[in-house]
Structure 1
């Protein structure tokens, strides 16, 4: 840490150098920081482009991390990066392999100089598609996660799920070093992350008419007297209790009529009181 204090946590003593900007890499790095890892964030001379549009988010993501701005295209910047990697356990990147290769960072060169370093690379897609350009929107579109096909997603699902995979891959790579003494190179793909999120949809669970897609009255959104409520009474005991307390038959129509009797916030308080999973839609 830049203030010289000693970190504690399950990853205390692990030093991470992150070249991964925008969102997936910083979200993963924050998770590692919160688990006790010492993270050094390396930005280009112009800083992270995310700071221009969401500075408060960047501040939150990089809290308790050291941030350096290096020009990795010149010798001095590359030498400083090498010094950082000399003492690191993990390297995070999110640039395309060809761009990293121009900086002298290839799986072969890194393994030769830093054999115990665990390099986790965020790419658009693993393998032959690693050079393809894209962002969360294109990955969600390809994975079929855009509900209407016309509205932009409110949650960056590919980015955030990829970040979780990165944390998992870091822990697995550190375990590999512990067991076998060598680090290695692992890719985490954004499109693969998005596709796995779409698995329930592909199996009909969340699509139109599916059990979690509006087909079941026990798992649905209903208008209230003001606002809307989300009901998720899937388990039999929750579903039976909901019908008994509302004194209704378990149909969409009956529930829709019942929920019009109170405001959404009132229903949320009612649900908490009676142990029924219903909340106001924010």
Structure 2
């Protein structure tokens, strides 16, 4: 059986993470993806670790299920070749600056005139209707501009970036959603269209779902920021021997934990029982929880919390994930043999379709 996007032809002119991550997901879903790289290759080929030049781990993990072709778009012949490829494609994705795309004849108007059924997707740093449209953007810049870095300062300390490429990958996920929606629209109308996926606006909208908070109302009913999420006590909790993640959310959860810890008095308080008072006194509740969890080991608490049906988990290290019994059972990490890089670990698509499965048909191209 083939994936749900089998037969969809995608020309992928993206580099680094956001675009390649998006097109890899589309490739996992069965799309035929041709990665068009500059003469020197995608810049993400270089960062290690690697076994051979231009085949770094991050590149391997963002470019499976693709074929590759290198073109020098400074040369007219190569620009013409790319234009020919796009003329028969279903989707064209790029993350060039828009001025550069226009100079190369790769703007939406030009390509849609040639191929009216094309889904044209431009992943940009900033929306092209705004004053920042020509600014360069990378993940760190967008984390700073969108408010992500400042959220860390609100919980105590200095502004910091998330230790993952969160803006790139989130933008890539939005691109997947938008491209699939446009493909569905085309199936109904027969017409293609242009899509703009701006990193800045994507991350601002992503964060403000909960953090717009009191600024949702006019006039404001309080400030920005969801208080529970920004609590300085919201973190993995220390136990007698290590740390665990635990999330009592409902009144029943809090009652169960406090009762198990021998604090029936806390379990009966309004701060535990009332939804409104829990929200207002979340700092106190987290402080109390921290005190309770110190009395037993992580294994003891995890066993008790599972029995009580209170959401909890060990604090895994990244290395632990490879040995996690659940992830092993579902086969998330596959040991495979790459044609040039030898035996590697492949992280399969986490998505399951019952009738059109996602599969790893090709490994990242040399």
Structure 2 vs 1, CA of residues 71 and 235 (structure 1 numbering), >3 Å: closer, same or farther?
same
* 1:261 matched residue in structure 2: 295
CA pair 224-95 structure 1, distance change in 2 beyond 3 A:
same
CA contact 2:247–2:312 (8 Å) conserved in 1 = yes
Determine which of 45, 63, 79 is the counterpart of 1:51: 45
- 1:91-240 equivalence runs, <5 A: 91-128=92-129, 129-146=132-149, 147-148=152-153, 149-199=158-208, 200-203=210-213, 210-214=227-231, 221-240=236-255
Distance in structure 2 (CA, Å) of the matches to 1:58 and 1:99: 24
Residues 267 and 278, structure 1, Cα contact 8 Å, conserved in 2:
no
What's the RMSD between the two structures over aligned residues? 2.4
Under a length normalisation based on structure 2, what TM-score does the superposition of the two structures give?
Answer: 0.69
Q: Which residue of 2 aligns with 1:37?
A: 31
Q: Sort the Cα spacing of 1:127 and 1:265 in 2 relative to 1 into closer, same or farther, 3 A.
A: farther
Query: Using the alignment, how far apart are the partners of 1:73 and 1:260 within structure 2?
Result: 63
Deviation of 1:151 after TM superposition, in Å, equals 2.9
Structure 2: give runs of 5+ residues left out of the alignment: 49-55, 215-221, 268-284, 317-366
Aligned length: 274
Q: Secondary structure at the match of 1:196?
A: helix
Structure with bigger RCO (C-alpha 8 Å, 6+ apart): 2
Once the two structures are overlaid, the 10-residue window that deviates more, 154-163 or 111-120, is: 154-163
CA 52–264 in structure 1, closer or farther in 2 if over 3 Å, else same? farther
Structure 1 residues 31-84: Cα deviation after superposition (integer angstroms, max 9, x where no partner) = 101111111111101111112114112112211210111112212212321232
Q: Provide the rounded CA distance (Å) in 1 between the counterparts of 2:287 and 2:24.
A: 46
CA change 1:63–1:206 in 2 (3 A) is farther
Q: Which runs of 5+ in 1 are unaligned?
A: 1-6
Q: Please say which of residues 15-24 and 266-275 is displaced more in the overlay.
A: 266-275
Give the CA deviation at 1:220.
Answer: 5.1
Hey, what does 1:3 align to over in structure 2?
none
Distance 1:279 1:189 in 2: 35
CA apart distance, 1:26: 0.8
| CA distance in 1: counterparts of 2:291 and 2:314, whole angstroms | 16
How far apart are 1:21 and its partner, in Å?
0.8
My pick for the range that moved more, 20-29 or 259-268, is 259-268
* Aligned-residue offset at 1:92: 0.4
Structure 1 residues 202 and 227: alpha-carbon distance in aligned structure 2, compared to 1, 3 A threshold: farther
**How far apart, in 2, do the equivalents of 1:206 and 1:230 lie?**
28
State whether residues 178 and 195 of structure 2, in contact with CA within 8 Å, keep that contact through their aligned partners in structure 1: yes
> Kindly tell me: are residues 201 and 133 of structure 1, through their superposed partners in 2, closer, same or farther at Cα, counting changes over 3 Å?
same
Distance 1:159 1:40 in 2: 20
Distance 1:268 1:44, change over 3 A: farther
Q: CA deviation at 1:93?
A: 0.5
Greater CA drift, 270-279 or 25-34: 270-279
Partner secondary structure for residue 33 of structure 2: strand
- Corresponding residue SS for 1:127: coil
Equivalent residue number for residue 257 of structure 2: 242
